Structure 1
């Protein structure tokens, strides 16, 4: 017979972080899905281009810590839907520079406003110093 396992999964930090991330992103996910038909990876690519301007897929992958296959699929879908354009990188002909189209910029600006409002609503239940400390802890855990 097996001994009682006293690990409380609900308090296991990786599990708890995952649960919090999933729960806290659900409402925002509904917005980018319903308004623009985007998946999580696609909005992350869109936001990187909106925030940082022209980037390569490799640069987005490094910044977002996403696998190149996922980035490639997201770039293809965003390109097909005319949210971004690709241009050959003259310095490295094997690479493409990605940038938002006018439609992509409009979607980014719309979703950026929603994200800011959502972040404010999510954090208003906590004291400002707690939110600041939580962000610091999460940044440290993420290695940022």
Structure 2
């Protein structure tokens, strides 16, 4: 591709966004219909399943979501009985979110499903290619974060 002619389909940020969207959709199909939770709700559930006792403000950057998405997901997950709030021992104004037993059970049901789908997707790569992909993604992520910090 010539650098003089711009093609959206070959523009790296677009390719990455399109790939992320397709992969996310392929995985979310597993739990959306079966468990009636959205991609955003799954990310919040997964964040709390991985790191119990997080403040909502910490979930957003950890799960690559914005504050409003987290707020809506937390409200629905709480309404459904999958998460609960408790006072933060160090800051009474803050609330810590945790999975309820029902939330933990849901998390444990979904994890094997999404891991199997991830394994299928990455099955197109051999072990060396998987390691290379991870290294490449980490390098690009570090550069992107550097650009964000510089403004």
Report the TM-score when normalising by structure 1.
Answer: 0.89
Report the TM-score when normalising by structure 2.
Answer: 0.85
Distance in 2 (alpha carbons) for counterparts of 1:41 and 1:69: 11
Distance in 1 (alpha carbons) for counterparts of 2:69 and 2:117: 25
Matching of residues 1-144 of structure 1 within 5 Å: 6-143=5-142
After TM superposition, the runs of 4+ consecutive aligned structure 1 residues lying more than 2 A away are 139-144
Pairwise CA RMSD of aligned residues? 1.6
Distance in 2 (alpha carbons) for counterparts of 1:35 and 1:142: 33
Gaps of 5+ in 1: none
CA deviation profile, 1:111-130 (whole Å, cap 9, x unmatched): 11112111111111112111
Does the 8 A contact of 2:40 with 2:73 survive in 1? yes
Q: CA deviation at 1:19?
A: 1.2
Distance in 1 (alpha carbons) for counterparts of 2:75 and 2:140: 31
Aligned length: 140
CA deviation profile, 1:16-64 (whole Å, cap 9, x unmatched): 0011111222221111211221111111010011011111101112322
